[in-house]
Chain A
Amino acid sequence: MHASGFDRTRPLLLAAMAVLALAGFAIGHPDILSGANFDSMAVFGVEIGMIALGQTLVISGGDSGIDLSVGAIAGLAQVVLGRLLHADVAWPLAVAVTLGAGLGLGAINALAVTWLRIAPIIATLATLFGYAGLALVLSGGTNIDLTQQSSWFLALGQGHVLGLPFQLIVLYLPLLAMFAFLQHGTFYGRALYLTGTNDRAAALAGLRVGRLRGAAYVLCGLTATIAGIVGAARLGTTRPDAGMNDNLISIAIVVLGGTGIFGGTGSVVGTALATVVIAIVDYGLSYNDFNPIYQAGVIGVILIGVILVENPVLARRARRLK
């Protein structure tokens, strides 16, 4: 077993949950099992799933690491992109500039946490305010229409490759592979685990703890930005408040995926599997005409429920290790 403690039973558990959730919704609406609906689920899952990849790194870095600003970054990225496209900037350039801006937003979080030494909850709550406010300022509070943009750009969120959504095949899966490699196959990944497990030991071992954690926030900002861009291309519009519940949902996915909330454990592979479960639940609820508030409520229940079930298990394991 990997030292990071990614447990082997988790994938089975998540697969069972996914099947159960799907079966539950299928009883009410058998037509949810159609190809078109799976397509929609995948499309929904990709965006929040990307954000969850970044959130996994941030949380596993320990020291109460958390990024509450992910949704605000996604929203602000959309608005920046929309403004650039409306200023007739060529779309590849506009996307590149937006990605750069997203890295910058992640870097601000990283600096606030590691250089200004503000507690991550407070730092990212403050940037949540700031980014969401900037998105409103830059957009004037309105949606920016992108339906007239290049079809190549819109394909980022609407295209298909081999019959599957473009963003799943060309963006999400490669990103997942890269994050998995980063986490399990590189020095950075191992160093971040050690930092999350015991930052004092990591610092004594000569690791630059602040930089390791900071990089996680930057990468998280990047994934939130990509999710924002894909969302804008998918809907053909930008919304300043696009990512309102993204922090809750991404954290729920990460926790469900087996990343310990106290850092130092977990894997983006678990996060990816948990994304499938949450995508089914969320899509199933909206398919049954539940208001988004109910979706958030149900995900809140899942988040708390998972931790309540897991904490005693973790405590027992810790006792056995002693």
Chain B
Amino acid sequence: MSAAVMGAPKVPRLRLPQGHEALLLITLAVLVAGIGMFSHGAFWSRINLDNLFVSSAITLIPAIGMTVVILTGGIDVSTGSMLGLTAAIGGSCFAAGWSLAATVPVFLLTGAGLGLVNAVLIIKGKIPPVIATLGTLSIYRMIVFIVLGSNWITQIPPVLTRVFVVDHALWLPVVALIALGFVIVASLFLRYFRWGRHVYALGNNEEAARLAGIRPERIKLAAYVMLGLLTGFAALLTLGQSPMVQTSTGSGFVLQVIAAVVLGGTSLSGGRGTMAGTLLGTLVVQVVDDGIVLLHIQPFWNGVALGVIILAAIGLSSRRDAGGM
């Protein structure tokens, strides 16, 4: 299924310069080598690697959706609240004694539904994505409070932890394998399927894409709903990682997701970026996080490190594209 739309400008197969992914790989290698050395091997312990893979997977799954959203020229800053609200609603079902089979769809549908709300506000309401989702960020969090009251939900079925986190296949925790599978599917989809090519066309030039017969509204709608769905799934995985829902569940999460995506080279001016970049970006974010813990650095440095890395990485690539100056 080749993508060339009649009359549309030909979209190069890989818009992202290979250089960026190489740069990320080198960064990652340096970080891993440094942390491995200074943590006296603690980095390479099975427990640490498993933790690293599990948290990377939980960030990576919504990051796949976020990559597509950003590729279309949008953004969603409400993802953390969405994760919290999905966990609160799904967790309430668990607490009410619902079976796993009945509750999993609740997670997925809640996530997709919240993504749909964002999509409608952005597409039908014509609200700039950052402002619409800044609004829903606070609204979803308010609803988390309404749902939970002052309670914590701890009745999470242990099977979640066992299946997703404890069990291994091919040397990796199962969540990590699932996340990798998603990355491969999404990557193939973006590269070889018509809708995937449309995502790039739309991000490059919305007006041109529209003239070429692409319907931007549909693609954007699909992107936000897909992000919601993946976030709903991530909420389920979060409960496998730590079996508890509280009012703060998911706060701060979106920053990691967006950091991973933009660090991976996906550009907010749209039309540029790959899933491979997002995978590497996620690993860099999580390795920094892990390194700060292992090297006994004050955890407060985490934000500073991420901020600096993002500015440096994007600043370098966007100035290079602009022709230096």
Contact = CB atoms under 8 A, between A and B. Distances in A.
Interface of A: 64, 66, 68, 112, 115-119, 121-123, 125-134, 136-137, 140-141, 245, 247-248, 251, 255, 261-262, 291, 293-294, 296-301, 303-304, 307-308, 311, 315
Q: Is the interface of B mostly helix, strand, loop or mixed?
A: helix
Given A133-B302, A297-B139, A304 B307 contact: no
Nearest to A315: B126
Given A118-B315, A300-B138, A66 B310 contact: no
Interface stretch (B14-22, B129-137, B172-180, B212-220): B129-137
Contacts of B304: 129-130, 133-134, 137
Interface residues of B, number: 45
A251 B247 CA distance: 25
B311 interface: yes
B116 interface: no
B131 A261 contact: yes
Contacts, number: 144
Contacts of A251: 131, 134
Given A122-B310, A300-B136, 6 more contacts: A66-B131, A129-B303, A294-B142, A296-B142, A301-B135, A304-B135
Nearest to B311: A126
Interface in B39-77: 75, 77
Contacts of A112: 311, 315
Contacts of A122: 258, 262, 268, 310, 314
A313 to B, nearest CB: 12
B199 to A, nearest CB: 18
B128 interface: yes
Q: Which 3 residue pairs spanning A and B have beta carbons closest together?
A: A297-B142, A133-B303, A130-B307
B212 to A, nearest CB: 24
Q: Is the interface of A mostly helix, strand, loop or mixed?
A: helix
B301 interface: yes
B1 interface: no
A245 B134 CA distance: 10
Interface in B214-265: 247, 255, 258-259, 262
Contact of A129 (B121, B145, B255): B255
A117 B318 contact: yes
Contacts of A300: 134-139, 142
Interface in B305-319: 305-308, 310-311, 314-315, 318-319
B313 to A, nearest CB: 10
14 contacts: A118-B311, A118-B318, A122-B258, A122-B310, A126-B307, A126-B311, A127-B307, A127-B311, A133-B304, A247-B134, A294-B142, A294-B145, A303-B131, A307-B132
